[in-house]
Chain A
Amino acid sequence: MKKLYTNRLNLRLALVLFLICFFPLSTLSNSNFNTGQSSVTLLTESNQIGSEETLLVGLEFKLSPGWHTYWENPGDSGEGASIKWNLPSGFKASTILWPGPERIPVEPLMTYGYEDKALLLTEIKSPKEFSNPVKISAKINWLTCKDICIPQEGQVDMTLIKGPKVANQFTSKLKEIASTVPKNFPSPYRVSVINEKIFLQFEKEGSRNISEAYFFPSEYGLINYAADQKLEKNDNSFSLELSSAEVQLKTNTLKGVLKLKVDGIKEFYALDLPLEKNTNNPLISISLLTGIIFAFLGGIILNAMPCVFPILSIKILSFIEQSQGSKEKLFHHGLVFSAGVLTTFLAVSALLIFLRASGEAIGWGYQLQSPWVVSLLIYLFVVIGIVFMGNIVLGSSFGNFGTLVQNQKDLASSFFTGVLAVIVASPCTAPFMGPALGLALLQPGLQSIVIFLALGIGFSLPYLILSIYPQLLSKLPKPGEWMQTLKQIMAFPMWASALWLAWVLSSQVDMQSVFAVLLGALLIALGLWLLEKTQNSASILRRLTLIFSLGLMIFSIWLLPITSDNNSPNLKNEENAFSAQKLSSLRSEQRMVFLNFTADWCITCKVNEAIALDQDKVKKVLDEKNIIYLKADWTRKDPEIASMLASYGRTGVPLYLLFPSQGDPIILPELLTEDLLLDFLKEIN
């Protein structure tokens, strides 16, 4: 075997030596130069050049089949060509205008270059005055490689006549190659670094169908050349996942060329984006640990958000009741409640992971985009309100079954209160939660579950503390008649929530469907009333009412609107409604833009709008500074908005972006106040 190998080697060596001997590295004085593996020809767009003109010239490399030469950044090995111009005084040559490269893999490495042929362009500028004729020459050093590399050297020259430019047989060829030299990328793009992964995200332009994308980095030490780049297509944007270099070198920019295959045609774009700015922005790029801490803090704060308030009231009541029991029992309730919260968060995260895997555009509060879920929540809030108001305690008919059973039943109710708390909390986003959830949804399953758990622990922490230190509850009055009154009062925030959800529903479906749901709520109320009325009646009557009530409830569920109605008022027609196209055209006009991501089911958003956005002073500043206000309404499913949110590492609303006339937007805090917003608006320019 060894012999065979060495024979092959010797053959190859002989060939190389033969070629080198036969074509010595001598200098030929010609516009064409041939080394055997490759030839170089100097082409100009005109044989004449006028004063103060720019002449496009090209060095055309023709390589033997299967051989290649390199791009500016050769990748893992090799080296790009160097051209040294010798021009009459006053003439200036630009640096090489490199056309878009191709990948040339050399397992296990990756190199970047041009196979079989290459045309490297240069622009030559003439001075005001010069003598005729004009002799230009270029000394070129380049590598011609296959599995081995051969350094080549040559000189080409040409004599130009002074005079106006006249097109020749090479003009169109040079112009054509010039059009493949990477241009600045037209669409907005951004770079996020998330846990060793670099995401290059860019917006889609119109209906262009991008089937392939590859990013050629210009610099070493940031991106792994050999690793596959994964292109994720969203409805309105693309995300190219790049792997970090195995050996990292500190770089401040992501610089390179993006190759796209658009409708089957290759396009090359130059990208240059400061990295530091993004990596330093905690809202975009946060580590897993930060994500966990943010989720935990967000969970605690979530308790104080408006949508959780009704549930807070249920929980306080139950704690006052339970504080009468033993300390141990109270502690158990705290634990079980937390278990309920955590289980639900786990279920939510599992569902999100599942949906993400099936390619859905998802986010926190996502379920509220479904009229079904909103309608069920309406029923739920109505039922809770009725339970609070009346004497019905669901399941209380089992009465005094003994302390043990009683205890178990209470524990179960604590568990389900936890579940309920999470369900009603879903329309709310608290500060810190946005980036944490954004990270959770970008992470592989396990890490995303960890973040959700941290959120759940934060959310249930206040109750756990209360149950461990019941003395904190001792400040509250002793249980008594007042509790019944308070419970009844708490029915009203429940019904208020139902009312608000009905309003949310009205923006998703038509009025008839909203009416159907409200009718359903009425029937449920009737059913509950019947159940209560017959509580102490004979068993047959009781069973009949039970069946009748169940029938009413099933009927009310049947009334639920199944899908969003597309004929209802289209929010997109509003003058200030967001669209990626509108934003990018405003951005190209260098207008300042305030972009509000909101949804009717997002109470945090509505509160922000009421106390900050809709204030006269804010409107005045927006007018005075000529800042365009755009509203991205996510009440219903909208892939364009979802992908825009995703490009800022978010999965839910609210998100407030303030775009200066140039550059990246500022991400505003999730809880806005009038003063805070005014400060931001006044500073932007």
Chain B
Amino acid sequence: MKYLLSLLVLLFINITTASVTTDLSAPSFELLDSYGENVSLSDFKGNTVVLEWTNHDCPFVAKHYKTGNMQSTQQLANEQGVVWLTIISSAPGTQGFVLPAKANQLTSSRSAKPNHVLFDPEGGVGKMYGAKTTPHMYVIDDQGVLRYQGAIDDAGGIGFMNKNLLEANNYVKNALTEIQGGQAVSTRVSKPYGCSVKYKS
């Protein structure tokens, strides 16, 4: 009985916070973007895809945008023909939840370069990917295989707010460069850091 229970508990945990495994196929999803169009991960088969979980009011995200660190990563992705999907899993009423117009305005005011800003107000996609923080980054190669998950760089940890992000080791840029060069991704997983994703409770 005890084991049956623990099995149930395990199942339950797996449902609530699923996760994805690096070097395995990334699960597909379909979400509405800021222009009201359905966007599916499978639309981009053949392209490398970056997923960025965001919440513009989160101080961590704010710092990455204020310093231009996120934009320069997006710039590299654009140059390589990589598709950049910014995902907002904040539930309505929580920090980071925005309406489409506001999302587009944030994109232009911050000179951000995502291909799409996607809304995940139910948190289903975020939980499926095990997105815990904003920012939380995922890199999927042109075969649909997850190659990197974690932080954008190694600046996380105590003292982040005082760090110079331009000096940090940008894991996403590294992964994109390595994938472009046909190499294996050297850092496949890192500890994501930032604010908690404001999931629907």
Contacts and interface: CB of A to CB of B under 8 A. Distances in A.
Interface of A: 1-2, 4-6, 8-9, 12-13, 72, 76-82, 84, 106-109, 111, 141, 143, 145, 147-151, 153, 220-221, 224, 226-228, 230, 243, 246-249, 357, 444-445
A147 B95 contact: yes
Nearest to B130: A246
Given A77-B132, A153-B161, A220 B2 contact: no
Contacts of B21: 247
A77 B13 contact: no
Interface in B15-40: 16-19, 21-22
Nearest to A8: B93
Contacts of A151: 59, 161
B3 A444 contact: yes
Top 7 nearest A-B pairs by Cβ distance? A246-B19, A77-B196, A220-B191, A82-B159, A5-B92, A5-B93, A444-B3
Contacts of A248: 189
B189 A5 contact: no
Chain B interface mostly helix, strand, loop or mixed?
loop
B2 A249 contact: no
Interface of B: 1-3, 6-7, 9-10, 13, 16-19, 21-22, 57-60, 92-95, 97, 99, 127, 130, 132-133, 149-150, 156-162, 189-191, 193-199, 201
Contacts of B19: 246-247
A79 B161 CA distance: 10
A364 B161 CA distance: 58
Contacts of A357: 1-3
A6 B99 contact: yes
A228 B7 CA distance: 13
B62 to A, nearest CB: 9
Contact of A76 (B3, B133, B150): B133
A154 to B, nearest CB: 12
B95 A247 contact: no
Contacts, number: 109
A111 B133 CA distance: 11
Nearest to A224: B13
A109 B17 CA distance: 8
Contacts of B130: 246-247
Given A77-B197, A82-B161, A108-B127, 9 more contacts: A76-B132, A79-B156, A82-B158, A141-B161, A141-B162, A247-B150, A249-B189, A357-B2, A444-B3
A172 to B, nearest CB: 29
Contacts of A76: 132-133, 196
A148 B95 contact: yes
Contacts of A224: 13
Given A6-B99, A82-B159, A246 B189 contact: no
Contacts of A84: 162
Nearest to A139: B162
A258 to B, nearest CB: 21
A143 B59 contact: yes
